[in-house]
Amino acid sequence: MNRTIIKLENVWKIYKMGEVKVNALRGVDLSIKEGEFVSIMGPSGSGKSTCVNMVGCLDVPSKGRISLDGHNIAHLSESELAQIRGRKIGFIFQQFNLIPTLTAIENVMLPMVFQGYSQEDRIKRGKELLALVELQDRMHHRPTELSGGQQQRVAIARSLANNPEVILADEPTGNLDTSTGKNVMDFLMKLNRKEGKTIIMVTHDSYVANAANRVEYLKDGKIIKTKHN
């Protein structure tokens, strides 16, 4: 397959809560190639979100090495991490996480604001992306005026705003009913197959996980099993 785009080597994440230490990740090794669709499964509290957040540069490991495109991000400043997040990574969350004061298209355009795109470019791309998730007729609706599935599709469109290489989805269907979840999954799969986006997706649903090329099983902060589909 293609080049390795993300590599985790012996990654530890330790949360200190007063005297108590929580080992959320305990030496995770993981490597993901360009264009891959990887699912992460595991019981609640096993460290899935922690792992994905670290890949997404939202957090840095307590120990170990995370390379994006061959660069170690463990020692980058918050500003540099934000740059990488903005350009290379698109997030999709379980709770959709749209900004409630902004309309669908404004939400989709917001990542482009932080990258300094012109208003014209933002509107053009925003419209294209909403069309991609079949929401062009909901452009000026606020999140509260959209269904869960529609909100998640807006979030998918937003994750694509700056044309990132990697999409990180943390339980994207977790708040949706089965058929709506399937619809959202269809869009994610289309992104992987047609646009060649690398996708890392956390899920509890083995049916959803099976859509991936590969499933990684996490337990107690360690990868205990890998399954190739």
Partner 1 sequence: MLNEYFNLALKNLLKRKLRSWLTMIGIFIGIAAVVSLIGLGQGLRNAVIGQFSFLGTDFITVQAGGVQFGPPGSGVVKPLTKDDVEDLNDVNGVKFAIGRLIKTGKTEFDDKVSFNFVGSMPDGEQRKEVEKILGIKAEKGRLLKDGDRLKVVVGNHLLNKDHLGEKLKIGSKILVQGKQFEVVGILESRGSFIIDTVVFMNIDTMREVFDKKDDVSAILVKTRDGANMNIVKENIEKVLRRTRKVDEGEEDFRAELAANNLAALDSTLFAVQLFVYIIAGISLVVGGIGIMNTMYTAVIERTKEIGIMKSIGAKNEDVFILFFFESGLLGMVGGIIGIGIGVGLAKGLAYIGSLQLGSNLIQANISFGLIVGALLFSYLIGSLAGILPAVQASKLSPVEALRYAK
Ligand X SMILES: Nc1ncnc2c1ncn2[C@@H]1O[C@H](COP(=O)(O)OP(=O)(O)OP(=O)(O)O)[C@@H](O)[C@H]1O
Binding site for Mg ion (CB under 5 A): 49
Radius of gyration of the chain (CA): 17
Tell the smallest beta-carbon distance from residue 142 to Mg ion (Å): 27
The footprint of partner 1 on residues 159-218 (CB under 8 A) is: 161-162
Min dist. Cβ of residue 183 to ligand X (A): 22
**Is residue 187 within 8 Å of residue 156, measured between CB atoms?**
yes
Whichever of 113 and 224 has its CB closer to partner 1, that residue is 113
Total residues interacting with partner 1, rule: CB under 8 A: 29
- Measured between alpha carbons, how far is 156 from 184 in angstroms, rounded to an integer? 9
H or E stretch covering 42: none
Please, which residue, 49 or 173, has the CB nearer to Mg ion?
49
Span 45-64, contacts to partner 1 by CB under 8 A: 53, 56, 58-59
* Amino acid letter, 195: E
How far is Cα of residue 96 from the mean position of the Cα atoms in its chain? 11
**CB 22, min distance to ligand X, A:** 4
With binding defined as CB under 8 A, does residue 85 bind partner 1? yes
Task: Give the distance from CA 211 to its chain's centroid.
Answer: 16
Nearer to Mg ion, 24 or 109 (CB): 24
Identify the residue among 115, 210, 226, 229 touching partner 1 (CB under 8 A). 115
Strands 89-92 and 166-170: parallel
Closest CA to 161 of 93, 98, 102, 89: 89
